[in-house]
């Protein structure tokens, strides 16, 4: 039976990380009599041997804390800044894994962490991962911990914007995190009663959005709330991007590929300050004053919700059981009321985006929400 367990948290911080560390640690210590150590600041901590013993004292009182007691970073094992260079530190990680007599490394993180953990698994390390991210875009799991807390924060922000929007007869545009997945904006937009929700999965026409707001105004509703996912994209730009990406995929030589890559970069630059552009266009088209609120990292902070604490604890204790059974090379996924192991090779390289036929999309449309399509 595996006895020596290493844990690290990588990628962006997320509510529920400490609850997951606690779930793994307490089950491993109390039920399975294992030794647990944490590595500070993600994969970099494994390179630099920054070890924190995780005993009952360190695990006490952390359930309700946001962030992560281990610290985190976005460093990749195979592309890690060391001084003025970017080096492949995978061999060092493998060496330190064995020097520390680890039987398994548990990696808590989002899609990037799943990829990095998989690379270490391919080098022969025993790996188990847990899916965390406020974006809820990790494949093969119903939900990631961190999402529920961020959803509540974004929903509360929309609730608060209603009062000022109605008082000043304004359009209020709220940018919500999510990268290229619209789960947060869609869930918060529906829960908060946003009048418009713009998602990465549904390229939009700004004129369609303006028409919906103008129609509300003519009907006596003199304010509108627009929830914009940070990855939302206008239809025309989406078409340009798709064309450039196809050109890169079908490139016959390095010059053609380089040219297509430059075009993709140029198109993506159009999306910088995208939410400000949405606000300016709506003010111009609707003749209604428009203001922008960007939640940013507020969505990742604070006390984890009860839902995230439950989920993280459930996944963490399941991870301890999998370690006991020596079932490695898996991500612990949420499947209904259960937590189940999913082979890592089925997770990496995939993203869980909002399906166009998802029930949330349907109910948003049925209550009259404009999605810009």
Residue 308 annotated in active site: no
Give the residue from 113, 99, 148 showing the smallest Cα distance to 308. Answer: 148
355: pLDDT strictly greater than 60? yes
331: pLDDT strictly greater than 60? yes
- Of 41, 75, 135, 195, the active-site residue reads 135
pTM for the full model? 0.92
pLDDT of residue 257: 83
Q: 59-86, pLDDT tens digit by residue?
A: 999 999 999 999 999 999 999 999 899 9
Measured distance CA(79)–CA(346) in Å, rounded:
23
pLDDT of residue 271: 82
pLDDT class of 1 with cuts at 50, 70, 90: low
pLDDT class of 2 with cuts at 50, 70, 90: low
pLDDT class of 291 with cuts at 50, 70, 90: very high
Q: Are strands 338-343 and 330-335 parallel, antiparallel or unpaired?
A: antiparallel
The pair of three-digit structure tokens given for residue 121, joined into one six-digit string: 């698994």
Mind listing the domains of the chain with CATH numbers? 4-145+304-336 (3.40.50.450), 149-233+271-300+356-366 (3.40.50.460)
- DSSP assignment of 221-276: ---EEEEEETT--BHHHHHHHHHHHHHHHT-SSHHHHHHHHHHHHHHHHTTTTHHH
Q: By the 8 A CB rule, do 165 and 212 touch? A: no
Range of lowest pLDDT (104-118, 121-135, 261-275, 324-338) = 261-275
Q: What is the mean pLDDT of the chain?
A: 93
Give the residue from 331, 329, 358, 351 showing the smallest Cα distance to 125. Answer: 329
Most confident of 251-260, 272-281, 339-348: 339-348
The pair of three-digit structure tokens given for residue 278, joined into one six-digit string: 């949405």
pLDDT of residue 272: 82
Q: 183-203, pLDDT tens digit by residue?
A: 999 999 999 999 999 999 999
Burial 325-364 (b: 16+ CB within 10 A, else e): eebbbbbbbbeeeebbbbebeebbeeebbbeeeeebbeeb
20: pLDDT strictly greater than 60? yes
pLDDT of residue 225: 96
Q: By the 8 A CB rule, do 251 and 197 touch? A: no
pLDDT of residue 273: 86
């Amino acid at each position: 039976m595996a006895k020596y367990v290493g844990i690290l948290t990588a990628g962006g911080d997320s509510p529920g990380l400490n609850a997951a560390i606690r779930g793994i640690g307490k089950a491993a210590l109390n039920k399975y009599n294992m030794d647990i150590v944490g590595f500070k600041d993600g994969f970099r901590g494994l390179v630099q041997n920054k070890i924190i013993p995780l005993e009952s004292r360190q695990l006490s009182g952390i359930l309700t804390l946001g962030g992560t007691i281990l610290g985190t970073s976005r460093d990749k094992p195979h592309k890690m800044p060391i001084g003025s260079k970017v080096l492949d530190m995978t061999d060092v990680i493998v060496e330190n894994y064995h020097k520390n007599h680890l039987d398994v490394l548990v990696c808590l993180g989002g899609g990037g962490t799943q990829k990095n953990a998989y690379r270490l698994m391919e080098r022969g390390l025993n790996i188990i991962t847990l899916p965390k991210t406020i974006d809820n875009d990790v494949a093969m799991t119903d939900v990631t911990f961190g999402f529920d807390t961020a959803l509540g924060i974004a929903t509360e922000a929309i609730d608060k914007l209603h009062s000022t929007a109605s008082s000043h007869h304004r359009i209020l545009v709220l940018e919500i995190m999510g990268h290229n997945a619209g789960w947060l904006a869609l869930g918060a937009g529906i829960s908060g009663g946003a009048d418009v929700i713009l998602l990465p999965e549904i390229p939009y026409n700004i004129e369609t959005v303006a028409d919906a707001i103008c129609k509300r105004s003519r009907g006596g509703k003199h304010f509108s709330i627009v929830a914009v996912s940070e990855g939302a994209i206008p239809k025309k730009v989406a078409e340009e991007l798709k064309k450039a990406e196809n050109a890169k995929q079908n490139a016959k030589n390095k010059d053609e590929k380089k040219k297509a890559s430059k075009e993709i970069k140029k198109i993506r630059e159009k999306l910088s300050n995208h939410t400000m552009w949405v606000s300016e266009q709506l003010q111009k088209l609707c003749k209604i004053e428009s203001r922008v609120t960007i939640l940013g990292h507020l969505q990742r902070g604070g006390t984890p919700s009860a839902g995230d604490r439950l989920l993280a604890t459930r996944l963490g204790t399941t991870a301890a059981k999998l370690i006991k059974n020596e079932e490695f090379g898996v991500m612990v996924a949420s499947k209904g009321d259960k937590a189940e192991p999913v082979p890592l090779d089925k997770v990496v390289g995939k993203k869980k985006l909002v399906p166009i036929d998802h029930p949330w999309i349907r109910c948003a449309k049925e209550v009259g929400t404009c999605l810009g399509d």
